[in-house]
Amino acid sequence: MMIDSSIFKSYDIRGIYPTQINEETIAPIIDSIYQFFQDSFGKKAGLTVVLGRDMRVSSPSLFAVARDRLVKLGAHVIDIGLVSTPTFYFSVFHYHYDCGIQITASHNPKEYNGIKFVRSSPTGLIKIGKSTGMEDVKKICETPPTPDQTHIGGVAVKTNIVESEVDSALSFFHNPQLKKYKIVADPANAMGGTYIDAIFKKIPADLIRMNFELDGTFPAHQPDPLDYANLKDLQERVLSDKADFGLAPDGDGDRLFFIDEKGHVVPASIITALIARELIDKQPGSLVLFDIRYILTPKTIIEESGGRYEITKVGHAFITEQMGNTGAVFSGESSAHYFYKSTGNAESQVMTIIAVLKALSESGKTLSGLAEELRRSYESGEINFTAKNAPEILETLKTTYKDGKLITLDGIAISYPDWRFSVRSSNTEPLLRLNVEAKEKTVMEEKRNELVSYIETLTKKA
């Protein structure tokens, strides 16, 4: 059976159902993942494998095939059913299971499905991506192993995990006294609603629910808060209901955007700075990571708080790997992923919501007021260019802006005393992604316009 190799991405496995991934092709993929797990642990039988899924229309049947296949391979399957991806990560780490597989396509449109998978290690979870084993799985899948049915596994159903996730997060923050806020949440008929409901069963709040019914056809809008068009209804509802803030998770719940009481999107770098300050106050001198796209706000706040920082590549698998290598307590990504050492270096939006509530309650400020207190830069937002000549463009930019400080960690990033920019290639599309930030808004706008015009000229030369 031929499997489309393009479904093996930098961070997960993802493709269109049923042409690229279906009930037939998932069997050898699961075989290959389990073989990879066995090789990683040096263990031929008895691995405990957490198995979860999202609410996509194709997820129940793909989940059933994966479960049955794992049992035949000798795995002890922990069936956690319908959960967000952060809750899936929590279950693998908190209960000390060997590894896990989540059936999900994150924020992709309804016709997609896929697989995220992780294994445990002494330093936390290892998400399997390009640098941590995805190529090995892809290679195994080219000649899938014949299942050795010497050992037959079994299935144990585990429930109430999200409730334990909330209890664990509250305990981490010493069960803080939180004020009662009016909050509007729009999970876009996707998995983020499960942990939002669980949080506010234990924390007092006036919760206004939008699009909470799980529906893998996404009838309201795409579950992708990076596209701000999908936030419009939530922003309007925050204003019309005079709410304190809004919550917008993505499809599988591992990203989360905040809308302040004025209806504005709070930059993820500011939320990163807010949480970093909270955690450094709790653990003085802690190491915090953030990605290369926007660094000025988190860097400055971390330094002011007496913490340490490192910069990461973009991508959740890379970030989790670097957290494991460095012992960082927290990492924030500009696409609104937030990672915690206490949850195995994986995302936890339960932790994020409680951290923000704690900061708001203790400061007495509005979310917009707290955000402005933390702001140290102004950001352009990510700007994409279709570019068939991406390597040449990057080299030209390095030459043109050679008087700046160059970092080549992920694409290129060039810094000046009062502004900086980064340009990196997409891992999945022929795109270049530009991000510009500056200490002053007018400088950011000027340099953004300059770079957009210049890059557009360079793409036309291809």
Q: What domains are defined for the chain?
A: 5-159 (3.40.120.10), 268-374 (3.40.120.10), 378-459 (3.30.310.50)
Please report, to the nearest 10 degrees, the dihedral formed by the alpha carbons of residues 134, 53, 107, 91 taken in order.
-70
Q: Could you give the angle at the alpha carbon of 402 between the alpha carbons of 399 and 408, nearest 5°?
A: 85
Q: What is the mean pLDDT of residues 299-324?
A: 96
pLDDT category at 1 given cuts 50, 70, 90 is: low
| Pairwise CA distance, residues 59 & 198, whole Å | 22
- With 0-12 / 13-18 / 19 or more C-beta atoms within 10 angstroms meaning exposed / middle / buried, residue 96 is exposed
pLDDT, tens only, 29-79: 999 999 999 999 998 888 999 999 999 999 999 999 999 999 999 999 999
Q: Say what the pLDDT of residue 121 is.
A: 97
Determine the pLDDT at residue 222: 97
Distance CA 129, CA 337 (A): 16
Which residues face 291 on adjacent strands?
312
Q: What is the mean pLDDT of residues 361-374?
A: 98
In the set 40, 58, 91, 106, the catalytic residue is 106
Number of residues in the chain: 462
**In the predicted model, what is the mean pLDDT of residues 182-197?**
98
Q: pLDDT at position 430, please?
A: 78
What residues have CB less than 8 Å from 340, skipping those under 6 apart?
329, 330, 346, 347, 348, 351
User: What does the pLDDT read at residue 152?
Assistant: 85
Over residues 15-38, mean pLDDT: 97
Any idea what DSSP says for residue 285? T
342 is catalytic: no
Strands, E assignment, 54-98: 76-82
Mean pLDDT of 219-231: 97
Give the residue ranges of DSSP H helices in 327-440: 349-363, 367-374, 390-400
